[in-house]
Amino acid sequence: MEPGPVTPADLDLSLDQSGAARSESQWQMVLRRFRHHRMAMICLAVLVVMLAASLLLPFFVARPRAEVDRAYRYLPPLVTDPAGIFHLLGTDNLGRDYLIQLIYAARVSLTVSVTVSTVATLIGLTLGLLAGYFGGWTDSIITRFLEFVATFPLFVILLILLAALLETEKPLSLPGPLIEVVAVITATPDHEAEKIALVILGMAGLLWPSTARLMRGMVLSVREHLYIESARALGASSLRIILKHAFPNAFPPLIVDYTLLMNTVLIYEASLSYLGFGIQDTPTWGNMLKAAEANMLAHPWMPLIPGLPILLASLAINYVGDGMRDALDPRLRK
C-alpha cells in the first residue's frame, strides 16, 4: 500500500468550512446556562441590590443619630415620627431609622462575608493547589496542618479567640494599611475597623481547610489527565502547568464552594454578634437582632426586621450557588 501525499481536500472535514464562525468557550457556556437559571438570576439581582445599596447609601445619608425623646423610639413600620419623617421600617430602641440602620449594617455584614470567604478561599486554594500538585512531603505537611486546623470546633474556637482578642486593648498590632482598607470598605472609624479586621482574620484563618481539601482533591484528579503530561512533554515548567492547566481545570467547583462559604460566614458573623462576641459597636445584622431581642416582648415585630435580611441574603447566596453548580455540571450540558 503506497498512499500518495494527503492534501486537506482529500480529508473529510465534518466541521463547516466557515471556520471561526461561532464558537463558545466553556466559560461562555457556563455563563449562558447560568443566565437561564431564573431563580439564581433573581437572587443575584437581590444580592447586587443589597450590596449596591450598602455601598452607595453612605454617600447620600449620614448614619442616623440617637434621639433623646422617647416619642421617637420603637416606632413600628410605616409610621411618621413627631418631626414628620416617614420611617418605612420604623425606628429602633434609640429612635434611629431602622431601614437606614439596616443598610449601614448590611455594609459590615456583607463585606465581612465577602472578605472572609475571599481570604479563606485564597488561602485554601493556594495550599490545596500546592498539596495536590506536588504531592509527597509537601502534601503530607499541608494536609496534616489542614487537619489540625479542621479539628477545631469552629464556633467555640471563634468565640474564645475573639473574646480574648477583643477584650485586650491593643490585641495584635495589625498593619495600618490593612486597617485603613477595612475602615474604608466597612465605612467605620479606625478603632472599629481594627476589631472588624480581627473578626475577618480570625474567621478566615479557621475557615480555609474545607476549600483547601476541595482544591487538593480536584488537583489530584486533574493532575492525572493526559494533557498535563502532554504539556510536560513539551517542556512546560511546573509553574506553567499549575497556572495554565491544573488551576483552570480544578477551579470551577470552588465557585460553588465560595458561595457556600459566604453563606456560612454571614450566619457565623450574625451568630457571633448576636452572642456579643463579634462586632459590637458598629451595627451589624447580628447585633441589631440582639438589641431588638431585649425588647421583644413589648415590641414583637422588632427582631423580624434585622432577621429578614439575614434570611434573604442567605437564601439568595444559596440559590446563586445552586445556579452556578447547575451551570458548571457537565452532565447537564445543553
**Residues within the interface to another protein (CB under 8 A):** 1, 3-8, 10-15, 17-20, 23-26, 225-227, 229-237, 240, 244-245, 248-249
Closer CB to another protein, 234 or 298, in the complex: 234
Closer CB to another protein, 138 or 280, in the complex: 138
SS (H, E, C) 39-105: HHHHHHHHHHHHHHHHHHHHHHCCCCCCCCCHHHCCCCCCEECCCCCEECCCECCCCCEHHHHHHHH
Buried b (16+ CB within 10 A) or exposed e, 276-299: ebbbbebbbbbbbbbbbeeeeeeb
* Euclidean distance between CA atoms 114 and 200, whole angstroms: 10
Closer CB to another protein, 87 or 245, in the complex: 245
Question: Minimum distance from CB of 117 to another protein (Å)?
Answer: 24
Question: Minimum distance from CB of 215 to another protein (Å)?
Answer: 16
Question: Minimum distance from CB of 8 to another protein (Å)?
Answer: 5
Contacts of residue 329, Cβ cutoff 8 Å, sequence gap at least 6: none
Closer CB to another protein, 15 or 62, in the complex: 15
* Euclidean distance between CA atoms 44 and 191, whole angstroms: 33
Question: Minimum distance from CB of 238 to another protein (Å)?
Answer: 11
Question: Minimum distance from CB of 303 to another protein (Å)?
Answer: 48
Question: Minimum distance from CB of 124 to another protein (Å)?
Answer: 21
**By C-alpha distance, which of 263, 254, 249 is closest to 215?**
254
Closer CB to another protein, 20 or 297, in the complex: 20
Closer CB to another protein, 5 or 177, in the complex: 5
Closer CB to another protein, 63 or 240, in the complex: 240
> What DSSP assignment string belongs to 89-146?
T-B-TTS-BHHHHHHHHHHHHHHHHHHHHHHHHHHHHHHHHHHHHH-HHHHHHHHHHH
Question: Minimum distance from CB of 176 to another protein (Å)?
Answer: 41
Buried b (16+ CB within 10 A) or exposed e, 307-323: eebbeebbebbbbbbbb
